[in-house]
Copies of this chain bind each other. A is one copy, B any other.
Amino acid sequence: MFKKILYPTDFSEVAKKALPYIVGLKGAGTKEVIILYIIDERGIDSFRNSTAIDALAVEKEWEELALNEISSLEDELKEQGFIAKAQINKGIPFREILRVAEEENVSAIIMGSHGKSNIVEMLLGSVTDTVVRKAQKPVLIVRR
């Protein structure tokens, strides 16, 4: 029922609140956790259209920071006894989350109620809202 969990994160404080719930699910049979971070390709595109910014350098630094953050989450979950796999994908966050949930056939998705403060999210609804509406898998939403 909860064997394989997809844990999408934007490394925000709210996303981190999901971790103790994942650990708490071990007794309910959770064995494997896929930690997913998505580099929003729309962000990269906006840099590409700027002549003042070295888009490739920004992208590289973004990836390195994400790799650092996700590796420490991976270590933490492994220390807790889970099979943990970290993925950094490029794309549109809600689409990647839904795609990976199906591709990996996870038992459930666990995520924070909202990501980093973001005017687009405030206007159009958060990534979490969209995942809740469109996911085929159970979704556990954890609050601040």
Chain A residues within 8 Å of B, Cβ to Cβ: 1-2, 20-21, 24-29, 108, 129, 132-133, 135-143
Chain B residue with the shortest CB-CB distance to A133: B129
Cβ contact within 8 Å between B141 and A141: yes
Whether A141 touches B132, Cβ cut-off 8 Å, given contacts A26-B28, A28-B27, is yes
| Complex contacts, A143 vs chain B, CB 8 Å | 135-138
With a cutoff of 8 Å between Cβ atoms, the chain B residues found around residue A129 in the complex are 132-133
Question: Are A138 and B21 in contact, with the CB atoms below 8 A?
Answer: yes
* A141 partner residues in chain B, CB cutoff 8 A: 132, 138-141
Set of chain B residues within 8 Å of A140, measured between Cβ atoms: 108, 138-141
Name which residue of chain B comes closest to A109, CB basis: B141
CA distance A100 to B138 in the complex (A): 23
Separation of A133 and B126 alpha carbons in the complex (Å): 10
Shortest beta-carbon distance, A102 to chain B, in Å?
Answer: 12
Residues of B within 8 A of A2 (CB): 24-25, 28
Q: A2-B24, A28-B27 are in contact. Are A138 and B142 (CB under 8 A)?
A: yes
Tell me the bound Cα distance from A21 to B2 in angstroms.
8
A124 to chain B, nearest CB (A): 14
Q: When chains A and B are docked, how far (Å) is the Cα of A133 from the Cα of B141?
A: 10
